Amino acid sequence: MLVAFEDILDGRSSRAVDRNKAKILAAICGDRPVTRKRLASRLRIRPTTISALVNELIDDGVVVESKSLSPPRQGRPEILLQAQMTRFAVLVIHVVSHDIRGALVDMAGNVLAERVAGLNGMETGNKRVIEAIEGLIDDLRDEAPAESQLLGIGIAVPGIIDPAERRWIFSSRWPKMRDLSFDAIAERTGLTVHVSRNLSLELRTRMLRRPEERKGGVLFVHWGYGIGSAYSWNGTVLDSSVGSFGELGHWIVSPDSLQTCFCGETGCLETEAALWAMLPEIRRSFPEAPADEWAFERFMREHRVAELEVMRRAGETFALSLANLYKAFYPERVVLTGPFALQDRIFDRLNRTFERHLPFYARDKCQMYAARPGPMDVIHGSSLPFFQKALRDLLISHG
């Protein structure tokens, strides 16, 4: 089960019977086979209560009765109980490099179906993006199992968004796409639509896997095709009501620069250190260097890209900006993702420069490490709120 049950029901506001229903479903979703009798023994809940709440879960469609188990001694056979993970499903639209991808996800976090629309042209505008997304949604809705209730559409994108208004304001991947509204998709499909920053979702999902990072501050920074950051405090990912947060890539680091960023400003950090800006100079030495982030990471492992002067300059500028951002939050952890941070030589240089720019009282108080986000982090982070709400409503006992 993708959802942690302790995050659904709050002991201060839920009834004991609702908490029991949640415990029963959590046990059924676990690794060990369960029956009504085994649930009563394991959870120390009265058999009559177990039976009533299991029947509710069956009526809710989230639990099914499976095969009979022969008793070890004389007695009645017991019926195995299994969770119906496809009872609810969510559509997730997300961006990987210059592809827009769609995934149909069940409550276990399994991808039931997936589709891809490639949008490689820098001339891509609002109309083409929305057409691609609508095509993915239409295709994936047809793949939903008959027993599934489609809860909504999670849209996870890079760049600047306005989540309250369901608008994608800007992304350096498609600079001609501006202020894209998803209201028409919500109207056309009749489904709830949530829009989120992909970095915030990656950080939120990371903390589900790593409970120790839910204490204190975590600065989560991506350095790749573009540059951006997210921040969490005690397990809560912070965001801004204006739809932009952690736009490290658009800090002005070279005010006298004439190089224009995709955002329209000049001298942004991205113009000095993002992959899209460095590629022309990198290709003078390595003409076949790819623009796709993860293809570029593989390329770097096989070629001496890290030794190029453009990479040294970029690393110095990025490290200085990161040190300044650190001083705004003073987090206990800095987590770097993206193809550059995963190269040992680049990371070592970056770490040394970063530490050199820290005040003496902050040195040795921050852990910085490179990490590769899980391939499903954005998908799981985007679908999770839908499943949490559906289960929160479902786990209210009928009695």
pLDDT digits (tens, 9 = 90+) for 162-197: 888 999 998 888 888 999 999 999 999 999 999 999
Q: What is the pLDDT of residue 71?
A: 60
Banded pLDDT at 76 (limits 50, 70, 90): low
> Residues 47-69: what's their mean pLDDT?
90
Q: What gap in Å lies between CA 346 and CA 341, rounded to an integer? A: 6
User: Which amino acid does the sequence have at 214?
Assistant: R
Residue 11 has pLDDT above 60, yes or no: no
Question: Is 396 contained in some domain?
Answer: no
Question: Do 70 and 128 share a domain, yes or no?
Answer: no
Residue 74 has pLDDT above 70, yes or no: no
Q: What percent of the chain has pLDDT over 70?
A: 94
Question: Is 298 contained in some domain?
Answer: yes
Q: What is the pLDDT of residue 115?
A: 96
Residue 12 has pLDDT above 60, yes or no: no
Helix or strand holding residue 155 (H, E): strand 149-157
* CATH label of the domain that carries residue 123: 3.30.420.40
Question: Do 366 and 383 share a domain, yes or no?
Answer: no
Query: How many C-beta atoms lie closer than 10 Å to residue 273's C-beta?
Result: 25
* CA distances in angstroms from 76 to 39, 47, 69, 72, listed in the order given: 16, 15, 9, 10
- Domain residues for the domain of 74 are 5-83
User: Mean pLDDT for the chain?
Assistant: 90
Q: What percent of the chain has pLDDT over 90?
A: 69
Banded pLDDT at 72 (limits 50, 70, 90): low
- Token pair in block for residue 333: 């952890």
Q: What is the pLDDT of residue 245?
A: 83
Question: Is 271 contained in some domain?
Answer: yes
Residue 349 has pLDDT above 80, yes or no: yes
Question: Do 234 and 289 share a domain, yes or no?
Answer: yes
Q: What gap in Å lies between CA 382 and CA 154, rounded to an integer? A: 5
248 CB contacts (<8 Å, ≥6 apart)?
221, 227, 228, 229, 269, 321, 322, 325
Sheet holding 111-118, edge to edge: 111-118, 99-106, 88-96, 149-157, 192-197
- Token pair in block for residue 60: 């809710």
> Residues 65-92: what's their mean pLDDT?
82
Residues 110-163: tens digit of each pLDDT: 999 999 998 877 789 999 999 999 999 999 999 999 999 999 999 999 888 888
Q: What is the pLDDT of residue 243?
A: 62
Question: Do 15 and 39 share a domain, yes or no?
Answer: yes
> Residues 51-74: what's their mean pLDDT?
83
* CATH label of the domain that carries residue 37: 1.10.10.10
Angle subtended at Cα 12 by Cα 7 and Cα 13, rounded to the nearest 5 degrees? 80
Q: What is the pLDDT of residue 135?
A: 96
> Residues 21-38: what's their mean pLDDT?
90
Q: What gap in Å lies between CA 208 and CA 213, rounded to an integer? A: 9
Question: Do 179 and 157 share a domain, yes or no?
Answer: yes
> Residues 46-72: what's their mean pLDDT?
87
Query: How many C-beta atoms lie closer than 10 Å to residue 256's C-beta?
Result: 6
22 CB contacts (<8 Å, ≥6 apart)?
5, 8, 9, 14, 395
Q: What is the pLDDT of residue 33?
A: 87
Question: Do 124 and 156 share a domain, yes or no?
Answer: yes
Question: Is 394 contained in some domain?
Answer: no
> Residues 344-358: what's their mean pLDDT?
93
Question: Do 226 and 248 share a domain, yes or no?
Answer: yes
Question: Do 61 and 103 share a domain, yes or no?
Answer: no
Question: Is 206 contained in some domain?
Answer: no
Question: Do 365 and 288 share a domain, yes or no?
Answer: yes
Helix or strand holding residue 91 (H, E): strand 88-96
How many separate helices (H) and strands (E) can be counted in the chain? 12, 15
> Residues 51-66: what's their mean pLDDT?
93
Q: What is the pLDDT of residue 122?
A: 75
Q: What is the dihedral of CA 208, 209, 210, 211, to 10 degrees?
A: 40
Question: Is 397 contained in some domain?
Answer: no
Banded pLDDT at 55 (limits 50, 70, 90): very high
Last residue of a domain, one of 59, 83, 107: 83
The residues that bridge with 77 in the sheet, in sequence order, are none
- Considering only CA atoms, which of 329, 328, 307, 325 is closest in space to residue 317? 325
Last residue of a domain, one of 83, 109, 137: 83
Question: Do 283 and 154 share a domain, yes or no?
Answer: no
Question: Do 248 and 152 share a domain, yes or no?
Answer: no
Q: What is the pLDDT of residue 208?
A: 85
- Token pair in block for residue 363: 């040195």
Question: Do 149 and 182 share a domain, yes or no?
Answer: yes
Residue 252 has pLDDT above 80, yes or no: yes
- Counted domains in the chain: 3
Q: What is the dihedral of CA 43, 48, 49, 53, to 10 degrees?
A: 100
